[in-house]
Amino acid sequence: KQEVTQIPAALSVPEGENLVLNCSFTDSAIYNLQWFRQDPGKGLTSLLLIQSSQREQTSGRLNASLDKSSGRSTLYIAASQPGDSATYLCAGYSGAGSYQLTFGKGTKLSVIP
């Protein structure tokens, strides 16, 4: 059974700093991997989807990478801003054509002005 772990559980950084969030998974047969943002009491906002054949995706200040062989994904946030404060979740798809996700517990990010 796929397990997804996110480290650290919480992170506090000063505004402007670059940072990396880590995600690891136990089953290298993971298909796609997706990063989400969740604000307190809110739903999920999709940030980046890395498809099975891809190694990374970029959107604005965000860059996510996927290394299946090592069972790891990272989310890089450049020039962090207070508005980036939220919980970031990574989730893995179980297989081709499956839309069932296994989520990590998330990293709670606080960007201090």
Can you give the binding site for another protein, defined by CB under 8 A? 32, 34, 41-44, 46, 49, 51, 89, 91, 93, 97, 99-106
Nearer to another protein, 10 or 78 (CB): 10
Rg of the chain over all Cα atoms, to the nearest angstrom: 13
Nearer to another protein, 18 or 71 (CB): 71
CB of 81 to another protein, least distance (A): 24
- Torsion, CA 54, CA 17, CA 9, CA 55, rounded to 10: 10
Classify residue 52 by burial, with Cβ atoms within 10 Å: 0-12, 13-18, 19+. Answer: middle
Helical H runs in the chain?
Answer: none
Nearer to another protein, 10 or 112 (CB): 10
Nearer to another protein, 44 or 62 (CB): 44
